[in-house]
Amino acid sequence: MTGNGFADLLVLLLIAAALALWWTGARAREHAIGHARVACRNQGVQFLDQTVALKGMALARSRTGSISLKRTFAFEFTDHGDFRDRAHVSMNGPHLLRVNFPWRRDAQGNRVLEH
């Protein structure tokens, strides 16, 4: 590579870190898809496109106190097929933090916006 042992090691560590970030991100995305699917089923809405999109990433503390990545994914859903609405899944590492829908239905079936 460069002939400098330290620089070669640094390059290899950067490549390994990038691969680890990609691998854990792919796993978190798959978990987020599953959580979005279940949340939509529980809310009685249709999960559209069967996918999520990464919207944000930040360092956070895990339940054990170690540093992990908090990822927020967006997904789209519809209640009657008329409109596409967007909701979010927040993950801390592979663990679900929450699924946020922009609204819920009240007892009369009306939409009530969440804040």
Quick one: DSSP state of residue 12? H
Q: Distances in Å between the alpha carbon of 64 and those of 24, 46, 59, 61, 102?
A: 18, 35, 14, 8, 30
Dist. CA 41–CA 63, nearest whole Å? 27
Of the candidates 88, 2, 1, 96, the one whose C-alpha atom is nearest the C-alpha of residue 40 is 88
110: CB partners within 8 A, 6+ apart: none
115 has pLDDT over 70 = no
| Mean pLDDT over the full length of the chain | 90
pLDDT in tens, 41-97: 998 899 999 999 999 999 998 888 889 899 999 999 998 877 899 999 999 988 999
CB count, 10 Å around CB of 31?
19
